[in-house]
C-alpha cells in the first residue's frame, strides 16, 4: 500500500469514527450532555463549570473513549473487503484531512 493510499484510508477511518460519535450525540439530550460532561470532568479532575460548547467537546471525547470502535487495522481490512458498507457513514471530512497539492 502506498503512502497516499494509507493517508486516504487513515482519513476515511477518522471520518467513520467521527460519524459514529456524531450519530450517538444526536440521540443525547442537552441535559444528558451536561451530565456526561460533568462525569467526564470529574474523572479527569477538571474543576468548575464549563461552557456548553466545551460540554459537547468533553462529552464527545468521553463517548469516543467509551465506544467500541474498531482499531484502524481491523477497520481497514473490513473496509477494503466491503467498501460499499461504509460509504453512507462518511461525512466527507476525510477529504479535508488530505494534504493539498501546492500550487506554484
Q: Domain locations in the chain? A: 3-92
- Output the pLDDT for position 47: 67
Between residues 19 and 95, which one has the greater pLDDT? 19
pLDDT of 8 above 50:
yes
For residue 14, give the nearest of 99, 91, 100 by alpha carbon.
Answer: 91
Q: How far apart are CA 100 and CA 95, in angstroms?
A: 10
Q: How far apart are CA 19 and CA 37, in angstroms?
A: 20
Q: What are the angstrom distances between the C-alpha of 91 and each of 13, 62, 71?
A: 11, 21, 19
For residue 89, give the nearest of 19, 11, 26, 14 by alpha carbon.
Answer: 19
Whether the Cβ atoms of residue 33 and residue 55 lie closer than 8 Å to each other: yes
14-72: pLDDT as tens digits = 888 888 888 888 888 888 888 887 887 778 777 666 777 877 787 788 888 888 889 99
Q: Tell me the H-state helices in 27-98.
A: 30-44, 52-66, 72-81, 93-97
For residue 13, give the nearest of 67, 78, 63 by alpha carbon.
Answer: 78
Amino acid at each position: 500500500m502506498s503512502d497516499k493510499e494509507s493517508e486516504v484510508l487513515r482519513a476515511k477511518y477518522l471520518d467513520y469514527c467521527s460519524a459514529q460519535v456524531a450519530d450517538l450525540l444526536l440521540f443525547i439530550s442537552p441535559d444528558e450532555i451536561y451530565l456526561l460532561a460533568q462525569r467526564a470532568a470529574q474523572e479527569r479532575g477538571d474543576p468548575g463549570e464549563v461552557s456548553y460548547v466545551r460540554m459537547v467537546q468533553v462529552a464527545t471525547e468521553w463517548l469516543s473513549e467509551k465506544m467500541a470502535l474498531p482499531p484502524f487495522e481491523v477497520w481497514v481490512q473490513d473496509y477494503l473487503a466491503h467498501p460499499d458498507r461504509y460509504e453512507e457513514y462518511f461525512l466527507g471530512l476525510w477529504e479535508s484531512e488530505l494534504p493539498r497539492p501546492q500550487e506554484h
